Amino acid sequence: MRRAAAVVLLVALAGCRSTHAHTHRSGAIALRPLPSQGLIDERRSGIALRDLRGRRLVWLPGFAVYPREPSAQVSAEYELSSGLPEPLLHGPHGWYRLDAARHTLLPVRGRRLPLAGGAVVVARRGEKFTVERSGRVVLRGSGPTFRILSQRLVQSGRTLLDVETAKRRELPPGCLFAGFRGPTLILACGVAHGAEGVAPLVFERMLPGGTTRRLAPPLAELIPEAASLSPDRTWVAVEGDTGCAGRWVYVAPARGGTARIVYGRSPRNPFAANFSNLLGWSADGRLVVLFEPPYCDEPYGPQHPPSGVYLVDPRTLARTRVTKTAVAMWNPAP
Question: Can you tell me whether residue 330 is helix, strand or coil?
Answer: strand
| Domain that includes residue 161, residue range | 110-170
Q: Among 65, 87, 107, identify where a domain stops.
A: 107
> Residues 211, 275: one domain?
yes
For 299-320, write each residue's pLDDT tens digit. 554 545 688 999 999 999 999 9
Beta strand spans in 242-324 (E): 247-253, 260-261, 275-281, 287-292, 308-312, 319-323
Element (H, E) at 29: strand 29-30
Contact 36, 53 (CB under 8 A): no
- N-terminal to C-terminal alpha carbon distance within the chain: 49
- β-sheet bridge partners, residue 276: 291
Rounded Cα distance, 159 and 169, in Å: 6
Task: Indicate whether 11 pLDDT > 50.
Answer: no
How crowded is residue 158: how many other Cβ atoms within 10 Å of its Cβ? 14
Q: Could you tell me which residue, 21 or 225, shows the higher pLDDT?
A: 225
The region of weakest confidence among 22-36, 114-128, 141-155 is: 22-36
Q: What is the pLDDT of residue 300?
A: 52
Claim to verify: residue 239 and residue 221 sit in the same structural domain: yes
Can you give the pLDDT at residue 127?
86
**Does residue 6 fall inside a structural domain?**
no
Q: What percentage of the chain has pLDDT greater than the value 70? A: 88
User: Domain for residue 82, yes or no?
Assistant: yes
Judge residue 132's burial from the number of C-beta atoms within 10 Å of its C-beta, 0-12 exposed, 13-18 middle, 19 or more buried: middle
What distance in Å separates the CA atoms of residue 6 and residue 9, rounded to the nearest whole number? 5
Q: Grade residue 16 by pLDDT with cuts at 50, 70 and 90.
A: very low
Q: What is the CATH number of the domain that holds 203?
A: 2.130.10.120
Residue pLDDT, tens place only, 262-286: 998 889 999 888 899 999 999 999 9
Q: What is the pTM of this model?
A: 0.89
Give yes or no for residue 40 having a pLDDT over 90: yes
* 11 found inside a domain: no
What is the rounded CA–CA span in Å between residue 238 and residue 261?
10
Res. 3: pLDDT tops 60? no
pLDDT value of residue 7: 35
Mean per-residue pLDDT, 153-179: 96
The reply to whether 160 and 70 lie within a common domain is no
Q: Are residues 235 and 327 in the same domain?
A: yes
- 269 vs 125, higher pLDDT: 269
How many domains does the structure of the chain reveal?
3
> What is the DSSP code string of 117-162?
GG-EEEEETTTEEEEEETTEEEEEEEGGGEEE-SSSEEEETTEEEE
- Taking the CA of residue 106 as centre, how many other CA atoms within 13 Å lie in the half-sphere pointing to its CB? 14
- 9 within a domain of the structure (yes/no): no
